[in-house]
Amino acid sequence: MHHLKPKVLPAGHHCPSLGMWALEAGSVRFSVPPSISRNSAMVNEPGGHGGPNPCLEGSSIGRESSKVSSRCSTRTLKPERRERLREKMRRRMESGDKWFSLEFFPPRLAEGAADLISGFDQMGAGGPLFIDVTWHPAGDPGSDKATSSMTIASIAVNYCGLETVLHMTCCCQSQEKITCHLHKAKRLGLKNILALRGDPVGDQWKEEEGGFCYALDLVKHIRSEFGDYFDIGVAGYPKGHPDAGSFESDLKFLKEKVSAGADFIITQLFFEADTFCHFVKACSEIGITCPILPGIFLIQNYHSLQQLVKLSKLEVPQQIKDKIEPIKDNDAAIFNYGIDQAVSLCQKLLASGLVPGLHFYTLNRTMAAIQVLKRLGMWTEDPRRFLPWAVSAHPKRWEEDVRPIFWASRPKSYIYRTQEWDEFPKGRWGNCSSPAFGELKDYYVFYLKSTSLKEEELLKMWGEELSSEESVFEVFTHYLSGEPNQNGCQVTCLPWNDKPLAPGTSLMKEKLLRVNRRGVLTINSQPNINGQPSSHPVVGWGPSGGYVFQKAYLEFFTSPRTVKALLQVLKKYELRVNYHVVDVKGENITNAPELQPNAVTWGIFPGREIIQPTVVDPVSFMFWKDEAFALWIKQWAKLYDKESPSQEIIQYIHDNYFLVNLVDNDFPLDNCLWQVIEDTFELLDRPPQTDREMEAT
């Protein structure tokens, strides 16, 4: 395979030994081009819990920001990504495909918010049409706090890829403040609002000066100020609003909200299917034709039932009281009854033919909702991904279909660092010499397990006391093997890999274990794939009927001694393997041609252009390098006392090890990267040679 001669760029930091190794290997030294600001890639100290959320700070789309130009366009891989919520509803209704949606509320504590966000990925796997996030005036809902409604909804959209509806109430807000919140929601990529009057703070509703008293006024205001940008939902009351004069007058107000611009209705909870069916028919008779979603309350314990009934001013049917009263002190029995009751109610609703979907009030307890949905056959976990990486639901990222592979295990970090881009690559990455990656100010914002776990839990996994570099090697091997460490604890995450191992890792597990035991500490890898069906349960992605391809990729930290041997070995593979070897200072040895990205994953699908969703981009790698090295200190070293032997070991690795990536370009052949590493080990295991013997070798 022919490679262009690499372009030599001026180096910013010169390491004499690294330069010597580069010359010995016949490679070039390469550092970050002058056009890239190195400061913008640095990673700062994490901030405290509950403080301003950097995910939301200064995220205005309209201001000056760096652009990544799209040099080629292709038809969107998944057209429904661009559909509005009301369009998705219409399509599902026309096809008769029932959906479900889930409601959550912001927890009071930052730790609870972290747990909620980490559960969004699990809930998203079941296929909800959307989730919605409630608005609590007492909790500073429009702020940048980790526990605010705005923050939770923004993260669900941007980092979890979920269609999200943000509640907005009139309570305790002026018109000006509401407008400000709506502008912020728009900037953050939120496109759906559930417009509500809201519950009064005290016993009686108090009119806010310069505010709105009714949801109807809020709907009119949104349409007046923002036109058709937002899809708007409103609340419906199957038995009429408690403050309405009659059921008929409440229906009249509901129709006015729909006429003013509401796109769909979500009902308050109810206990009997006939109640909802009567409501829907009454709505139809007065000309309400938009989708009406039944709000399903899951009875999970006696206290929550009593509290919700009090707030909603509803009566619990006698037959339910008769079932619950004898078991009110048995939470497990009530939970099981609640599942059975919800399944029965939903089955009747679905059989009526009057419901397009089901909306569940989860109370942030998702286990019950999942059980109900599984029994209804509506929980559909599809293992096939439509792209190899986690997508964002932000409108400006709808057409994004190419990313550097380096952030494969940290997609939320990549989304955060590129949030200021005006455009995103589609079709191909292109030869972009200066992408601007934002600072990663606060790891906490991504709600990673490694940051939400307590320090004592991390120490049990990563070593309460490290005695040598080999102690670190053991942590990596226990993460890969899944076997308990010497503390009897499973290593479920690493600073660079917060989630369970990717499915493709199973295809290389034994080889990965071997190289990690020898100090090749892998943080990212993929096997070579030559034309597997897109429906393949492990490596498949994209629409049905396609074929996917991958070049073998390996990324790891390793010692200076191993790097020196590796560069000698790579001479034999110069025409087949592209590589980057970089230290913490940014000194980089590479044989990659100029600044060209190397596509390492692509797919071919019926009626579409080739999609190449992951690339090895030399410039982006230098930004990733800063983040990858910083994780040694920000996540691991900080667990130990200052200047302790354990901290010094991690600091030594940070200061002296190299970050390496290897790409085997001949994907139809057997992966040669393992042989590259084996040849390196063989060279390391040889007896020491004289300088003359080394030259002869």
Report the catalytic residues: 103
Q: If DSSP codes are grouped into helix, strand and coil, which group holds residue 232?
A: strand
d(CA 201, CA 228): 31
Environment class of 293 (CB within 10 Å of its CB; exposed 0-12, middle 13-18, buried 19+): buried
Q: Is the dihedral of CA 166, 167, 170, 171 positive or negative?
A: negative
Tokens of 307: 């509290």
Amino acid identity of residue 518, one-letter, is R
d(CA 273, CA 263): 23
How much helix, strand and coil, in percent to the nearest 5, is found in the chain?
40, 15, 45
Enclosing H/E stretch for 48: none
Tokens of 93: 């209704």
Q: What is the DSSP string of 103-159?
A: EE---SSHHHHHHHHHHHHHHHHT--SEEEE---GGG-TTSSSTTSHHHHHHHHHHT
Environment class of 213 (CB within 10 Å of its CB; exposed 0-12, middle 13-18, buried 19+): middle
CB atoms within 10 A of CB 550: 21
CA-based radius of gyration for the chain: 28
Amino acid identity of residue 647, one-letter, is Q
| Torsion angle, alpha carbons of 154, 158, 159, 162, to 10 | 90
The torsion angles phi and psi of 455, rounded to 5 degrees, stand at -60, -40
Q: What is the largest CA-CA distance in the chain?
A: 100
- Please say whether the beta carbons of 409 and 498 come within 8 A: yes
Beta-carbon contacts of 179 under 8 Å, excluding residues fewer than 6 positions away, are 221, 225
d(CA 134, CA 149): 6
d(CA 193, CA 166): 5
| Torsion angle, alpha carbons of 205, 152, 43, 583, to 10 | 180
d(CA 658, CA 649): 15
d(CA 224, CA 565): 68
CB atoms within 10 A of CB 456: 9
- HEC-encoded secondary structure of 315-353: CCCHHHHHHHHHHCCCHHHHHHHHHHHHHHHHHHHHHHC
Beta-carbon contacts of 369 under 8 Å, excluding residues fewer than 6 positions away, are 102, 123, 298, 360, 362
Length of the chain: 697
- Please say whether the beta carbons of 582 and 558 come within 8 A: no
CB atoms within 10 A of CB 459: 17
d(CA 610, CA 616): 17
